Amino acid sequence: MKIKLHILCIPFVFLMIFSGQIAYYSIILGALLWHEAGHLFAAMLCGVKVKSCVIAPYGGEIEFENPTIVDGKSLLWIALGGPIATLLGIGFAFFTPDLIAIRLINVQLVLLVFNLLPVIPLDGGRIILALLYIFYPSAKAFEFYHSFSLFFVTVLLLITINYLPQSIFLVILCLFVWLQIIKEWKYRKYRLAFEKYVMYRLT
């Protein structure tokens, strides 16, 4: 399994360095790695082999070795693995020194709340996609959900931009997610064809 850092993390790193917040970024990176470890551990428990893991500003992107054999329940548990790990991390933070605990808890709370937004490619979106696979395997439903995700994040990005410079961290997160959704939207026809194949196999 390969673990890589997403290229869009580079401007985020430079922003933290130039603002003198290297220690703060270290906490963010640690929280992201811990969060992603939760997904990987859940995948291992479900017996799903992971090909690669890319660490992104909001968490990570996991690529399965053979996605066609991953069922809806496994997808659901893997999506839940990250938020569960973050909740455990928040609990562990209470046992660290106060100065570290405050920042660690705040970072993980922001990560948790943001990741549970019901849009692709966040964990909240992956959870809903897994539930669709289990209870309502319809290609049209998946296409509608991609459209909803694009609209939701576009509105959220515009809102956070209005609060610059205080909202710089959230703007970067929203911009990254927006770019990821645009990327998925461009290839939605191929993705829908793949999803139809998977849904046919599952039914």
Cβ pair 176, 157 in contact under 8 A: no
Q: Compute how many other C-beta atoms are within 10 angstroms of the C-beta atom of residue 114.
A: 20
The domain total for the chain is 1
Q: Running DSSP on this structure, what letter comes out for residue 165? A: T
Which pLDDT belongs to residue 202?
Answer: 45
Which pLDDT belongs to residue 127?
Answer: 93
What averages of pLDDT result for each successive group of 10 residues across the chain (203 residues)? 60 61 72 87 89 71 77 89 92 84 86 87 88 79 82 88 77 80 68 54 46
For residue 67, give every residue at least 6 positions away whose Cβ sits within 8 Å of its Cβ, in sequence order, or none. 198
Which pLDDT belongs to residue 96?
Answer: 82
Which pLDDT belongs to residue 165?
Answer: 73
> Could you tell me the CA-to-CA distances from 105 to 27, 36, 55, 88 in Å, in that order?
10, 17, 20, 11
Write out the residue range of the structural domain in which residue 114 sits: 2-202
Which pLDDT belongs to residue 18?
Answer: 64
Q: What's the pTM?
A: 0.77
Which tokens in the block code for residue 13? 């790193």
Class of residue 76 by CB neighbours under 10 A (exposed 0-12, middle 13-18, buried 19+)? buried
Which pLDDT belongs to residue 203?
Answer: 44
Q: Compute how many other C-beta atoms are within 10 angstroms of the C-beta atom of residue 49.
A: 12
- Beta-strand relationship, 59-64 and 50-56: antiparallel
Please give the backbone phi and psi of residue 11, each rounded to the nearest 5 degrees, phi first.
-60, -30
Cα 190 off chain centre by: 21
